[in-house]
Amino acid sequence: MRDLPTFNTILLERKGRLLRLTFNRPDALNAINRELHDELPDALWFAQGDPDSDVLLITGAGRAFSAGGDLDHIAHNAANPHLFDHEARQAKRIVNTLLDIDKPVICRMNGHAVGLGASIALLCDIVFAAERAKIGDPHVGIGLVAGDGGAVIWAQRIGLARAKEYLLTGDLLTASKAAEIGLVNHCLPLDELDNAVDAFCDRLLAGAMGAIRATKVLTNLEIKRLANAVMDAGIAYESVSVRSADHREGIAALREKRKPVFGQG
């Protein structure tokens, strides 16, 4: 059995043929800083090629799945927008590797999933969400284009009209509402989440894995086609918005706990 790689912000664990990937910044609600953003594609790449697992489970430590971008990290990128070019390449790696993994990928959404955190959750094959969790992609709320995956996956789960509504407003949905409209698969009380996730993973692990994997690959072909068509443009648009006055205003408003005043470009 291959040794598991170690990371500072991600924990990898095996339980039989199940590989568990946990975002491990609980004190920051697993917000995605530069280090987590860099470590995640490497962790996913390992999971993709790991011969000792058949199912990948993704979750967060503590109270959140992932609260989205770390505010200090976002502000640093806004002040140094050339750094976003590196981040853009990593965002593409995250999306493409998630879609390339042929083994089933299950999301245990134990708490809020926001921004890129929401995209990661929704790019999983099956999402089990705790009923008190919320999910949304509020890029526009800080003057950013939702270019790192949201434009790819939301419409695939809930249709274009609903996807536009939530991406253009940045509104967060409760887990129950997300389950009602098909954005996530299941909404459960937190104390029932583990049993439901474990039972589903065990069912997959007891199945005909060759057929399951090939079916997963087949159902991802259209999403991969869309990702290949959309991601370069999405990252380019987001890169422009990183340099905008509206984005700087969005960050300032967050820090000052006030409503942003947009319209500055």
Q: Strand 134-136 vs strand 113-114: parallel, antiparallel, or unpaired?
A: parallel
Distance CA 111, CA 130 (A): 6
In a domain, 218, yes or no: no
In a domain, 177, yes or no: yes
Count of domains for the chain: 1
Question: Tens of pLDDT along the chain (265 residues)?
Answer: 889 999 999 999 999 999 999 999 999 999 999 999 999 999 999 999 999 999 999 999 999 999 999 999 999 999 998 888 888 889 999 999 999 999 999 999 999 999 999 999 999 999 999 999 999 999 999 999 999 899 999 999 999 999 999 999 999 999 999 999 999 999 999 999 999 999 999 999 999 999 999 999 999 999 999 999 999 999 999 999 999 999 999 999 999 999 999 996 6
At 45, which CATH number? Answer: 3.90.226.10
Distance CA 104, CA 50 (A): 13
In a domain, 247, yes or no: no
Global pTM reads 0.96
Count how many residues are written for the chain: 265
Which residue is associated with the tokens 């068509």? 229
Reported as type and span, the H/E element at residue 56 is strand 55-60
With H, G, I as helix, E, B as strand and everything else as coil, classify residue 181: coil
**CA atoms within 13 Å, Cβ hemisphere of 41:** 16
In a domain, 245, yes or no: no
In a domain, 259, yes or no: no
The phi and psi torsions of 57 (rounded to 5 degrees) equal -115, 130
Q: 163 is in which domain, residue-wise? A: 10-205
In a domain, 1, yes or no: no
In a domain, 163, yes or no: yes
In a domain, 233, yes or no: no
Distance CA 164, CA 250 (A): 20
